[in-house]
Amino acid sequence: AMAAQLIDGKAIAEQIRQEMKAEVAELKEKFGGKAPGLAVVLVGQRKDSQTYVRNKKKACEEVGIVSFGTDLDESATEEEVLQAVAGYNADPSVHGILVQLPLPPHIDEQRVLDAISIEKDVDGFHPLNIGRLAMRGRDPLFVPCTPKGCLELLKRSGVALSGKKAAVVGRSNIVGMPAALLLQREDCTVTVIHSRTANAQRICAEADIVIAACGKAEMVGGDWIKEGAVVIDVGINAVDDATAKRGYRLVGDVNFAEASEKASQITPVPGGVGPMTIAMLLRNCVDGAARTFEAEAAM
């Protein structure tokens, strides 16, 4: 029997998109028709990257954000990618710049991310934004979208964070590490579990809040979850399934059937964190544009 309440990321993301639509309309009204702009740089022909970029642009346009794009060939030089970024850095109609990862191996990803103006770093991957996220008394201009989405799900589900024990499974630059920093900023006591952690299951089972982002299908089993804990599953893994139409199905990094018997609240996969990532990108674009419009109006 499932005890846990579902955290409906799809519905929450839809609500946020409606909020963004209203905010974009207000911005236009207030600042003489100016709209937020997002620029996406895509290098190469990866099908998954093309799909992500298409979905991001579509979501932007639906809320009134203008989208710009540069599609470069797989063989593009680092210099060409840096030039595209520099062009958008200088373009006043662009308030957010996103370079779709991964880049082809001959391009230095760090150099490209470092070149994005921190005022337009809507993915939140610039080391200055991450550094500020880590420091007390400092605020980043942008927070990475997926971990920001995890926190938004917790807040909108009424989960109290201050003083709670949280475990983050995974420590990547784009999900685990910033998720841990965000939880710490909310006054959780955070444990980061990674591939070298001894007794990971036992440590995780002490947490009131679990964010799973280890990229291992259904690794976090029921015995990793404390009775009544809140579980946010970031994982997206395709596993073979002969009974499924496409021959595979998507599962998270959490064993949902087991964990939902222990948790008080849990996100499904799909329909949990996934839809929140794009909603938070819209949030970051609108915030960045609003900051710029306010600054321009004050000049």
Select from 47-55, 179-187, 210-218, 281-289 the region that touches ligand NDP (CB under 6 A): 210-218
Q: How far apart are CA 177 and CA 170, in angstroms?
A: 7
Rule CB under 6 A: say whether 196 interacts with ligand NDP: yes
Is 123 among the catalytic positions? yes
Site residues (CB under 6 A) for ligand NDP, limited to 143-172 = 146, 169-172
Interaction between residue 176 and ligand NDP (CB under 6 A) = yes
CB-closest chain residue to ligand NDP? 172
Strands 189-193 and 5-6 turn out to be unpaired
Residue 162: CB minimum distance to ligand NDP, A = 26
Nearest Cα to Cα of residue 44 among 135, 118, 107, 125 = 107
Residues 12-41 that bind ligand NDP (CB under 6 A): none
Angle (CA) 112 49 139, round 5°: 50
Nearer to ligand NDP, 196 or 246 (CB): 196
Of the candidates 214, 195, 194, the residue with the CA atom closest to the CA atom of residue 254? 214
Among 215, 221, 222, 271, binds ligand NDP (CB under 6 A): 215
200 counts as binding ligand NDP under rule CB under 6 A: yes
DSSP 119: G
Tokens of 172: 């990547």
Q: What is the largest distance, in Å, between two alpha-carbon atoms of the chain?
A: 62
Give residues in contact with ligand NDP (CB under 6 A).
Answer: 146, 169-172, 174-176, 193-197, 200, 213-216, 219, 234-237, 253, 273-274, 277
